[in-house]
Structure 1
Amino acid sequence: MKYIDSIQQANKKMALAAQQLDEWRLPANPINYTISYEYVEGKNASLINAVQQRLAEGKTLDNFSMEEFYKHYILGQSKFRDELVDDMTDVVSQVDKSAQQSAQQVERFINKLDANLVHINQGEGEKSQLAIHNIRRASDDFKSQQQSLIERLLASQQKARALKAELDKVKQEIYLDPITGMYNRKALHKHLDTWHKQDPSRQLAAIVVSIDQFTEFHDKFGPLIGNVLLSKIAQKVSSYVDDSGLPVRTTNDEFLIFLPDIDKHIAGEIAEKIRQGVEKLRFISSKSGVRFPKMTISLGVDCFAVSESSTALITKARRILSQHPGDTSNKVILA
């Protein structure tokens, strides 16, 4: 993102960027303004296509989508950082494993040495006794040195585990949505790549989850309460997904659940359980005791090939609901 403009050109683009934000009905915060300026600049084709595609799907631009655009198309996104974290995690895990193996090998050697010294024949004269004495001294010195080595290896192991815990936190920042705790699009792309490498012909069941009337709720009660409600619904949705599944937050009020090797009708049954679970949720303010409106979700279910891109999967999954005739609120739609 480099701009080489005259003051006059920059002022003109700034005015266009502000006008564009008005059209999008977004506040002029730093991220939104940066996206708008880049958009009117007209040179970032990937960003422009992503914005236009979202608008073409009838989706409004919100703070969540603008932050996603900023991460992917302005920061350039940190593929190098992701690969670096993965490589560091592998190295740290190997250090941990090697330290543990080395400590165990040293301990086994010392035990074997002690056991064999007992069996040395001590009845073969003064030279034999002297040899045994020297071996024992050397053995004691060796054990002392190795004990120090074991302590250093254990210390290295503890440091490696501490570093791995820090790397896990970094991975959470990279791959998890901070409000819902669900995975983000970057994590989806990474999982799709892994699944494809394991089996290019693999099939995925996908459940798209859209929160009914969330925009109205958000506008009425504000972003703080809206985020709390969003988090509660996301937790309930995620509770129906086991470790093999992947719950992803794709937009402000939309989630996608990917279930490898699951039949569409089984996924439909899971979707119905999710719908019922969310419908039973009640939202009450812990401070004021105010009861908020009951929320429902719309769900669409279909199966896709793991070879498709994350963008294609999201687009096709959304069409399950957007192209369905009639009202989809609080319903499960099987494609």
Structure 2
Amino acid sequence: MKYHDSIQQAGEKAAQVKLFLQRANLAAHPVNYAVCYEYISGHNSQLCQIIEQKLSARAPLDDFIMADLYSRFLAPANPQQELMLQEASGMVSRMAAYTDVAAEQLDDYLLHLDHSMLQIQQTKPDPVLQPIINQLQQTTAEFRLSQQQMQQQLLLANQQSHQLRHELEQLKQQRLLDPLTGLYNRLAMQNQLDLWFSEQPGRRIAAIAVNLDHFSRFNQEYGNTIGDVILSKVARKISSYVQSSGLPVRSGGEEFLILLPDVDLRSASEIAEQVRRGVEKLRFVSSRSKKTLPKVTISLGVSLYQQSENWYQFLGRTAEVLLLAKKRGRNQVASELMLADGALA
């Protein structure tokens, strides 16, 4: 068993979990309960740190965030899955290469065979050898027919292996994408960060935290289905301002994060302002009532990664800057320079 709590300890923790879920307005389903129980137990420092940062920044905890925490810290580890994907991808790649080579060699052999038979037919062989030549021609024709059939099978196998490799790549890509918005998820973010820092340990990375203003109120009034449509369209608009070098991430229910390598704070703030204006110009109409829905706005916080902090501290500081934008009236951009100047007061 993972926990070794007594009945009394388990009961006390269960009461704390229930209270936590009520305060966070979270449903008491198994995933949320398990994450809260782990947080109350305090065994997983990273999970506790993330939740503490959310609470200190007054950021809402929703099912999306809880499911992400569960998958990252509590779901049974399965290192075999990634290994199997890698091995399958490698096997299919080798199969495709082998069939490519085999098909090419078979084409060369058949051309050489046709050339040789043409030369034999153009010569005047000894009558004694003619039956042998006739038999050779018949055998060659039969062999050529069987090889043509084999070539068709190789081509089919080649097409299938290439298709399988494409599907494997799609599967690997889907594991890195948020299914609702199509933006990258936290796994993709961590993979990309590891890559950036391995390329250049002291690399400058700017982060733009994005949060939809009053979105929970919007969901309550118009429903989650329309809310999902809004999220998807806002996500596409956000992504349109991110160049190929950057990474747009869905980091929470109505929260997004734009990571920009080799970008200074001023440039990141300008990009954030462009994103804010772009989202503000979006207009939404209900497909049922044909009525125009209220304007959707976003608040943004911009900060730079510092080598002296770990990534979770950086995300926490970015959340503080985002909170500053909300406290200043929402629908605006705040940077960590404002935070440093005491703009929060």
Q: Normalized against structure 1, the TM-score is what?
A: 0.82
Q: Which moved more, 1:200-209 or 1:65-74?
A: 200-209
CA deviations on 1:91-134 (whole Å, 9 max, x unpaired) are 32332343233223322321233234324562353466566545
- The aligned residue for residue 284 of structure 1 is 285
1:263–1:48 CA distance, 2 compared to 1 (3 A):
closer
- The aligned residue for residue 113 of structure 1 is 113
Shift of 1:72: 0.8
Shift of 1:66: 0.8
1:125 and 2:126 are equivalent in the alignment = yes
Give, in whole Å, the separation in 1 of the partners of 2:207 and 2:113.
60
Shift of 1:233: 0.7
Given that 1:211 and 1:295 are in contact with CA atoms closer than 8 Å, whether structure 2 keeps it comes out as yes
Give, in whole Å, the separation in 2 of the partners of 1:307 and 1:78.
32
Given that 1:122 and 1:129 are in contact with CA atoms closer than 8 Å, whether structure 2 keeps it comes out as no
- The aligned residue for residue 19 of structure 2 is 19
- The aligned residue for residue 81 of structure 1 is 81
Q: Which moved more, 1:205-214 or 1:6-15?
A: 6-15
2:123 is paired with a residue whose SS is coil
1:300–1:156 CA distance, 2 compared to 1 (3 A):
same
Seq. identity, % = 38
1:251 is paired with a residue whose SS is coil
1:175 is paired with a residue whose SS is coil
- The aligned residue for residue 258 of structure 1 is 259
Gaps of 5+ in 2: 337-345
Gaps of 5+ in 1: none
- The aligned residue for residue 230 of structure 1 is 231
1:92–1:218 CA distance, 2 compared to 1 (3 A):
same
Given that 1:196 and 1:307 are in contact with CA atoms closer than 8 Å, whether structure 2 keeps it comes out as no
1:196–1:155 CA distance, 2 compared to 1 (3 A):
farther
1:234–1:139 CA distance, 2 compared to 1 (3 A):
same
1:86-165 equivalences in 2 (<5 Å) = 86-120=86-120, 122-126=123-127, 129=130, 132-133=133-134, 135-165=136-166
Give, in whole Å, the separation in 2 of the partners of 1:307 and 1:100.
51
Letter in 2 for 1:250: S
Shift of 1:185: 0.4
Aligned length: 335
1:24–1:300 CA distance, 2 compared to 1 (3 A):
closer
Q: Which moved more, 1:232-241 or 1:141-150?
A: 141-150
2:175 is paired with a residue whose SS is helix
Letter in 2 for 1:104: E
Moved over 6 A (4+): 305-309
CA deviations on 1:296-321 (whole Å, 9 max, x unpaired) are 12334455489986545534543443
Shift of 1:41: 3.2
Given that 2:20 and 2:36 are in contact with CA atoms closer than 8 Å, whether structure 1 keeps it comes out as yes
Shift of 1:203: 4.2
- The aligned residue for residue 250 of structure 2 is 249
Letter in 2 for 1:254: E
Give, in whole Å, the separation in 2 of the partners of 1:99 and 1:90.
14
- The aligned residue for residue 319 of structure 2 is 318
Give, in whole Å, the separation in 2 of the partners of 1:12 and 1:75.
24
Shift of 1:283: 1.6
Letter in 2 for 1:290: K
- The aligned residue for residue 296 of structure 1 is 297
Shift of 1:32: 1.1
2:256 is paired with a residue whose SS is strand
